[in-house]
Amino acid sequence: MKTLKFKNGDEMPAIGLGTWKSAKGEVAKAVKTAIQNGYRHIDCAATYGNEAEVGEALAEVLKEGIVKREELWITSKLWNNSHKKEDVLPALKQTLKDLQLDYLDLYLIHWPVAFKPGVAFPENDDDYLSLEEVPIIETWEAMIDAKKEGLTKHIGVSNFSQTKLEDLIKKTDDIPEMNQVELHPYLQQNELIEFCSKNNIHLTAYSPLGSGDRSDEMKAKDEPSLLENKVITTIAKKHGASPAQVIINWDTLRGTAVIPKSTNETRIIENLESTGVKLDEDDLQKIAELDDNFRYVTGKFFVTKGNSYKDIYDEE
């Protein structure tokens, strides 16, 4: 299995199981199925609302001896309502309790946006804390403390633009080791990949398959389907592979980690088996041409007067 190497020698399996949108009542079975079939990397977050159930599955596979803790790579993320320095460690400890673990392999700041403590999802401008009230560096320094305490082996960020990474890097010697962002053939993130590579920051691709199971209010009416894209389906047919396998393989060839979500046993297995697909130069060229800077996750919901961002991704 391909891995991403960290500077202390730790290796993160390139393909992980995503758990965003994995329903309660389904996610434990998905995690167990994944680990039984060779997955060693599970991507979680407090805001997904299912960490306690993921934890039950982890406890079972560890107890049954299917894997050892040190063979697993578990990522989780700090929710936006716990950015104040005094709130970071308690949030991480709650995640560890839910996941039934002593430590995480990787803990990420989920978004560069802070909500007031207790706000699960903002309803108006008053629900935000401004960047003056909680600068990102304050949250980041608490993340560094969490690492020093041994609660997580690595720390990083998610949904950070190059501009936001540059701002943070200027203020700390202990820079993020990971940036998890939306990344797929319609949003190839070439500039961010280049910037991160120069700065020894790994990338993880979320929504790699186009996240067709998002709720209706999160979807644009006319959003394109990635898995039904003609270029992707034609390449898939050529290799006797599925469209999802083509995309996951493309991700790993570009050196990023990728976390396809599935709660279906056949598709969980199929996604890990994407390593067998052999994309050629012609396939890669055709996929490169699909880049359109198109986002499924617009982040518009985090742009208000309260947090002083015009555009969360700094593109406008």
Q: Which of 242, 252, 256, 307 binds ligand A2P (CB under 6 A)?
A: 242
| Binding of ligand A2P by 227 (CB under 6 A) | yes
Confirm or reject binding of residue 210 to ligand A2P (CB under 6 A). Answer: yes
Residue number, 213 or 291, with CB nearest to ligand A2P: 213
Does 49 engage in binding with ligand A2P (CB under 6 A)?
Answer: no
Nearer to ligand A2P by C-beta: 12 or 232? 232
**Minimum distance from CB of 94 to ligand A2P (Å)?**
24
Q: Write the interaction track for ligand A2P spanning residues 16-45; mark x where CB under 6 A is met and - where it is not.
A: --x---------------------------
From the list 35-43, 124-132, 260-268, 305-313, the region that binds ligand A2P by CB under 6 A is: 260-268
Active site residue 206: no
Q: Which of 109, 100, 108 is nearest to 52 (CA)?
A: 100
**Residue 124 is encoded by which pair of tokens?**
């108006």
Nearest CA to 18 among 312, 268, 287?
A: 268
Among 38, 212, 255, 299, binds ligand A2P (CB under 6 A): 212
Q: How far apart are CA 149 and CA 202, in angstroms?
A: 23
The minimum distance between CB 302 and ligand A2P, in angstroms, equals 19
Supply the DSSP string of 252-276, one letter for each residue.
HHTT-EE--B---HHHHHHHHGGGG
Which letter does DSSP use for residue 78 in this model? E
209 makes contact with ligand A2P (CB under 6 A): yes
267 binds ligand A2P (CB under 6 A): yes
Interface with ligand A2P (CB under 6 A), residue from 264, 276, 280, 288: 264
Rounded to the nearest whole angstrom, what is the least distance from the CB of residue 69 to ligand A2P in the complex? 25
Q: In what helix (H) or strand (E) does residue 153 lie, and over which residues does it extend?
A: strand 152-158
Please say which residue, 243 or 306, places its beta carbon nearer to ligand A2P: 243
Does 260 bind ligand A2P (CB under 6 A)? Our answer is: yes
CA 156 distance to own-chain centroid: 11
The CA distances from residue 206 to 22, 110, 138, 180, 297, in Å, are 14, 12, 26, 7, 10
Q: Is 180 in the site for ligand A2P (CB under 6 A)?
A: no
Catalytically annotated residue among 39, 48, 128, 313 = 48
DSSP 116: P
Helix (H, G, I), strand (E, B) or coil at 187: strand
Question: DSSP 3-state assignment of 11?
Answer: strand
24: CB partners within 8 A, 6+ apart: 49, 50, 53
Cα→Cα distances 33→30, 76, 209, 226, 272, Å: 5, 20, 20, 25, 12
Contact footprint for ligand A2P (CB under 6 A) = 18, 207-213, 227, 242, 244, 260-264, 267, 270-271
Catalytic annotation, residues: 48
